[in-house]
Amino acid sequence: MEIGRRDILLGSAALLLAPGGSACAATDRPLGYAIVGLGYYGLNVIIPQFVNCTHSRLAAVVSGDRAKAQRVAREHGLSDKAIYSYADFDTIRDNPDVDIVYVCLPNGMHAEYTIRAARAGKHVLCEKPMAISVAECEAMIAACRKADRKLMIGYRCHFEAHNLEAMRLARSGAAGKIRYVRSEHGFVQRDPTKWRLKRALSGGGSLMDMGIYSLQAARYMTGEEPVAVTARESTDRRDPRFTEVEDMIDWTLEFPSGAMAGCLSMYSANQNRILLMGDTGRIELEPATRYDGNEMWTGKDGRERKIVPPPGPAKTQFAGQLDHMAQSVRRGQEPIVSGEEGLRDMRIVEAIYRSAREGRTIRL
């Protein structure tokens, strides 16, 4: 990753962007978001965060369930004109209250609604993973570029205080020369009917979900881009949960400096941990990437000192993410986690799957 872009992030300057030529720059009003998808994440995690935002507000909802959409609209003071179905979504182009569309749909629907939003003249914040293939990611970037709209991917940990401080410590040499990162993320996915276990909607199993956290951590903790990947999969195909997608994937990344990262994703056990080891010490986060309650330690060879990070520039990581996108639009700058960042991850994800399938190291 480019150090200049990381310095902006680590300096908590992401929300203090230089003025640009955006059409929204003429007013200080909070920019309006349309939330596409009223599943658990969109409804229970993202929408409640607007009360913590300075530059963002809820302006519309998009759902296939009209009754649910009406209930949510009433609860948040929106009129029926702010309610859209998936069928009439394209008419959102006529709503000047909506500046940004936040796509909170299953992975397999990200590309379609990002492209439709861009064509409707709206900026896009899309959940991770960006899409289910490199080709889809490239199409999303092209559509937003053609429409002159911003595209950001929902990498919330780039706005989470513990992860920000861990990055800063790693860059400052707190652990010495970085030699190894271990990043493990997983949870027990019990219900075989969930969309995450359906390939058409998810694009894959744990790698396309929890594996994104492991991959991102390896990249933002080292500050490097991997040059090779070696992966292996372990899945019990007799388990009804895993008839279409993988359970556990373990992979090793090699970096130009000689550092390595061991990463893991799984749907059959709970884990949430990032560990960086340098030649003089270590930085450990466990839990590392939860919505709240993350903890961090440093030490020579153990948890010798607990680290309480300084407050971030926003009340919560979610509010930071929402406001950063709004300010990127207003100031005419690229988000720190743009579509290109999502594309980089997807290229590595495809290489991980290929390595596991072919049983060999893939050069990147």
**In the beta sheet, which residues pair with residue 262?**
182, 252
Q: Which of 33, 102, 128, 267 is catalytic?
A: 128
284 and 356 belong to one structural domain: yes
Tell me, what's the pLDDT at 204? 98
219 and 119 belong to one structural domain: no
Q: Give pLDDT tens digits for 1-46.
A: 443 444 434 443 333 333 333 344 446 899 999 999 999 999 999 9
91 and 236 belong to one structural domain: no
Please report, as a single letter, which amino acid is at residue 260.
Answer: M
131 and 177 belong to one structural domain: no
pTM of the prediction? Answer: 0.93
Tokens 């359906």, located at residue: 198
Which residues lie below 8 Å from residue 4, measured CB to CB, with a gap of 6+?
none
- Residue 211 sits in a domain whose CATH number is 3.30.360.10
Please report, as a single letter, which amino acid is at residue 201.
Answer: L
291 and 330 belong to one structural domain: no
Distance, CA of 212 to CA of 24 (rounded, Å): 32
Tell me, what's the pLDDT at 27? 62
Distance, CA of 153 to CA of 73 (rounded, Å): 25
Q: Give pLDDT tens digits for 317-327.
A: 999 999 999 99
Which residues lie below 8 Å from residue 310, measured CB to CB, with a gap of 6+?
161, 165
152 and 170 belong to one structural domain: no
Residues 281 and 307 sit within 8 Å (Cβ to Cβ): no
Distance, CA of 315 to CA of 78 (rounded, Å): 24
Tell me, what's the pLDDT at 25? 43
Distance, CA of 333 to CA of 342 (rounded, Å): 17
Record the tokens describing residue 181, joined without a space. Answer: 């990162």
Residues 301 and 115 sit within 8 Å (Cβ to Cβ): no
In degrees, to the nearest 5, what angle opens at C-alpha 72 toward C-alphas 314 and 213?
45
Which residues lie below 8 Å from residue 9, measured CB to CB, with a gap of 6+?
158, 164, 167, 336
Helix axes 110-119, 134-146, angle to 10 degrees: 10
Give backbone dihedrals phi and psi of 236, rounded to 5 degrees, phi first.
-90, 100
Which residues lie below 8 Å from residue 192, measured CB to CB, with a gap of 6+?
240, 241, 243
Rg (CA), the chain: 20
Q: Give yes or no: 33 in active site.
A: no
Q: Extract the residue ranges of the chain whose pLDDT is less than 70.
A: 1-27
Judge residue 229's burial from the number of C-beta atoms within 10 Å of its C-beta, 0-12 exposed, 13-18 middle, 19 or more buried: buried
Q: C-alpha distances in angstroms, 86 versus 33, 64, 108, 219, 292?
A: 16, 6, 15, 35, 32
- Residue 41 sits in a domain whose CATH number is 3.40.50.720
- Percent helix / strand / coil, the chain, rounded to 5: 40, 20, 40
78 and 51 belong to one structural domain: yes
228 and 301 belong to one structural domain: yes
109 and 193 belong to one structural domain: no
Q: C-alpha distances in angstroms, 332 versus 183, 243, 278, 300, 325?
A: 34, 45, 38, 43, 10
Tell me, what's the pLDDT at 28? 81
Peptide bond into 192 cis (omega under 30): no
- 161 in helix, strand or coil? helix
Tell me, what's the pLDDT at 311? 85
Domain that holds residue 31: 3-156+317-338
Q: Which of 33, 102, 113, 213 is catalytic?
A: 213
188 and 149 belong to one structural domain: no
Residue among 257, 274, 269 nearest 181 (CA) = 274
Distance, CA of 360 to CA of 180 (rounded, Å): 21
207 and 278 belong to one structural domain: yes
Tell me, what's the pLDDT at 19? 31
289 and 321 belong to one structural domain: no
What is the number of structural domains in the chain? 2
Q: Give yes or no: 213 in active site.
A: yes
Residue among 58, 47, 36, 213 nearest 110 (CA) = 36
DSSP 127: P
